[in-house]
Structure 1
Amino acid sequence: MTSSPEPTYTWGTTSEINSFIRHLNKSHRILALCGAGLSAPSGIPTFKGSGSYWKNHKAAALSHPETFEANPGLVWSYFAERRRLALCAEPNKAPRALAQVARKRKGFVCLTQNVDGLSQRAGHPKERLFELHGSLMDIKCSNKECDYIDKENFAEPICPALAGDPEQPSSFSFSAKRTFTTQRRDATLSTKPSRTNAHEEYKYKREPNPLEALLESLSPTITPEMRQVVIPESELPHCPKCDSLLRPGVVWFGEALSKPMFDEINAWIEKEKKLDLMLVIGTMAEVYPAARFVHLAKEKGARVAIINLDAEHTGGIGLGKNDWMFGGDVEEVLEVLFEGVLLNG
């Protein structure tokens, strides 16, 4: 009786996969940093390259306090549509797999740069999920002296003026919504791979460096079109405590991330002498201060595994000989890498 052949994958050799699984099985403290690639299979735009526009406005410019001050109705309209997209999306296999691992491994902590709430909805334990850039489901006061915040507000619409038109298609550019599908299509093999030629035959179309959008956002160009009143301020949501305008509870460009949150993450990292494994999923970890956690993990002795569609670019991480790069669909990769943990605990 002949045994069936072992499966082969486009994103890693059997040796690499088994090496990672062995290390995962003996790891006690695991830190994950997740980015837009984790949510892309759910249809959430990645806002990269040609997909970084909404109604002909640059998405980065709309995610800025200066733009909110100039035209809060425009910014609220943009984030209300992003919020609707997130509410309509379903968590894909990748955040669900991470949530399952977190429930089984008490030493697993996830840092997400995503604001769509999919990791939370996938069932990730709240006490070990840090939303670095906030959440579209949180609403807070724009008055810095007021502490009002409404967390986990899933009401749709937030107010009548922000109700979407069901007859109108999404205002996000077609390329924004199709970024992931395009990448997945371009990452196909011309022939069935073997364990030895998988990496050589893997084809990937690189997107522009996301730092370009970051640089553009540092000082947004507020065009005359962006100053046109979309919704009067009187019709936008206001704070019940001080009557100032409410705003999305996300971190905009030019704003600092939550210091209490950073202190809590740092305390967890420093709690013990060693960190076993650092997962970088769906991101190139190029933007600070989030990228700093990868370097802290390496200083603690963690081996690093990057799981991302872009197999050619590792950002500033600097992989060592004992680290891993798995360049493929995050859903497929995590399903294979975590299979043993998900089945056996």
Structure 2
Amino acid sequence: MSVPVGGGAEAALGAVRARLARARRVAALTGAGVSAASGLPTFRGALGFWREHRAEDLATPQAYARDPLLVWEWYAARFHAAAAAAPNGAHLHLARLEAQLPDFTLVTQNVDGLHARSGSRRVLELHGNLTKSRCERCGHLDALAPGFALPPCCSRCGSRARPNVVWFGEHLPERAFEAAAAAFSRAEVALVIGTSGVVEPAASLGRLAAQRGAVVVEINPEPTPLTPYATLSLRQDAVSGLHALLGPLTPPPG
């Protein structure tokens, strides 16, 4: 059932709230829409990154091999935008939810690091994290600092480093996706928030939860391929949708 912004269906929303309140095992998947309220553009919306850049020009191994400096300039701009951004209410809602549950897993397609900065601890970053670089030779990770040199070099061996992200055509971190699939398989309630639902294999997680009998809540202003599988679809942005589902933000326990 879809519930539009300001719409009815309070009974359906109330039933999902009650089920979430009883749940002990919850999994959440987030996409770029979760960070939109922090001022970071989504990838496929009207103001998305791909409106100005083609993915094949910037986010593939072939693009990096062809022009590593161009790719690094783009990722440096994104790094500085993320560093200047603050976690928003959606990030904070999910951090609070984690603190209340014995089994909560947050899976994100985002690479901006805002979930960790909001206080979330059990985060699986399927697409990497642009706040770090990864050595092309030894694989060592280095935290990036504002104003870092382009391209950065590995602090361990001195070789050139690449962005620590998963590009189109590359495999996801195997252990991270296995952990994500396990979390969605055992979840009583699954939340899918601010993601287009078209990038596989992450998009399969919501379907997996639905097939295992979980209550699936989708929060997205537009319908997605997950919508037919969702128990409830809130046609709202991430902040408003989580507020509707979870209520006002409260201080973290302790």
* TM-score higher than 0.5: yes
> CA 1:269–1:35 in 2, change beyond 3 Å: closer, same or farther?
closer
Cα separation, 2, equivalents of 1:55 and 1:306: 25
Partner of 1:286: 198
Cα distance in 1 between the residues matched to 2:83 and 2:216 = 32
C-alpha distance in 2, partners of 1:68/1:305?
37
1-structure distance, mates of 2:24, 2:162:
39
Which secondary structure does the structure 1 equivalent of 2:229 belong to? coil
Tell me the CA shift for residue 51 of structure 1.
3.6
Q: How many pairs align?
A: 250
Flag the structure with larger Rg: 1
More moved, 256-265 vs 57-66: 57-66
Unaligned segments of structure 2, at least 5 residues: none
Q: 1:139 aligns with which of 133, 141, 144?
A: 133
Counterpart of 1:148 (choices 124, 140, 154) is: 140
Q: Match of 1:226?
A: none
Q: CA deviation at 1:295?
A: 2.3
Shift of residue 238, structure 1, vs aligned partner: 1.8
CA-to-partner distance for each residue in 1:112-161, whole Å, 9 max, x for gaps? Answer: 11111111111012xx2111101111210123xx22112xx2511122xx
Runs of 4+ deviating beyond 6 Å? none
The 1-side partners of 2:251 and 2:117 are apart by 21
- The answer to whether the 8 Å contact 1:11/1:326 transfers is no
What SS class does the counterpart of residue 103 from structure 1 fall into? helix
Q: CA deviation at 1:278?
A: 1.1
Which of 108, 130, 134 pairs up with 2:124?
Answer: 130
Distance 2:76 2:23 in 1: 40
Cα-Cα RMSD: 2.5
Distance 1:340 1:25 in 2: 14
Deviations 1:233-291 (A, max 9, x none): xxx22224443310111111111000121233344456xxx531111100132221112
Check the 8 A contact 1:54/1:78 in 2, yes or no: no
Equivalences for residues 163-312 of structure 1 within 5 A: 236-269=151-184, 274-310=186-222
Is the Cα contact below 8 Å between 2:210 and 2:229 reproduced in 1? no
TM-score (norm 2): 0.88
1:56-67 → structure 2 map (5 Å cutoff): 57-67=53-63
Q: Which runs of 5+ in 1 are unaligned?
A: 1-7, 163-235
Shift, 1:14, TM fit: 1.7
**Aligned equivalents of 2:34, 2:109: Cα separation in 1:** 10
Q: SS state of the match for residue 191, structure 2?
A: strand
Contact 2:219 2:233 in 1 (8 A): yes
Could you tell me which residue of structure 1 aligns to residue 245 of structure 2? 337
CA distance in 1, matches of 2:73, 2:219: 33
Structure with the larger strand share = 2
Q: Give the distance between the partners of 1:15 and 1:95, measured in 2 at CA.
A: 26
- The alpha-carbon deviation at position 59 of structure 1 amounts to 4.5
Give the distance between the partners of 2:24 and 2:128, measured in 1 at CA.
Answer: 27
Counterparts of 2:129 and 2:20 in 1: how far apart (Å)?
A: 30
Contact 1:52 1:60 in 2 (8 A): no
| Corresponding position of 2:30 | 34
Aligned to 2:216, what secondary structure does the other structure show? strand
- The Cα shift of 1:39 comes to 0.4
Corresponding residue number in structure 1 for 2:12: 16
Give, in whole Å, the separation in 2 of the partners of 1:262 and 1:292.
11
Q: Which residue of 1 aligns with 2:224?
A: 314
**C-alpha offsets along residues 195-247 of structure 1, whole Å, 9 cap, x if unaligned?**
xxxxxxxxxxxxxxxxxxxxxxxxxxxxxxxxxxxxxxxxx222244433101
Residue in 2 aligned with 1:94?
90
The one-letter amino acid paired with 1:19 is A
| Structure 1 CA distance for aligned equivalents of residues 52 and 177 of structure 2 | 35
1:108 offset after TM fit, Å?
Answer: 1.4
Residue identity in the other structure for 1:76? W
Match for 1:34: what amino acid? T
Per-residue CA distance 1:79-136 (angstroms, 9 max, x = gap): 00000000001111011011111011121111111111111111012xx211110111
The residue matched to 1:318 in structure 2 has which SS? Answer: helix
Query: Kindly, what percent of the aligned residue pairs are identical?
Result: 36
Distance 1:343 1:18, change over 3 A: farther
1:110 equivalenced with 2:106 (yes/no): yes
- TM-score normalised per structure 1: 0.66
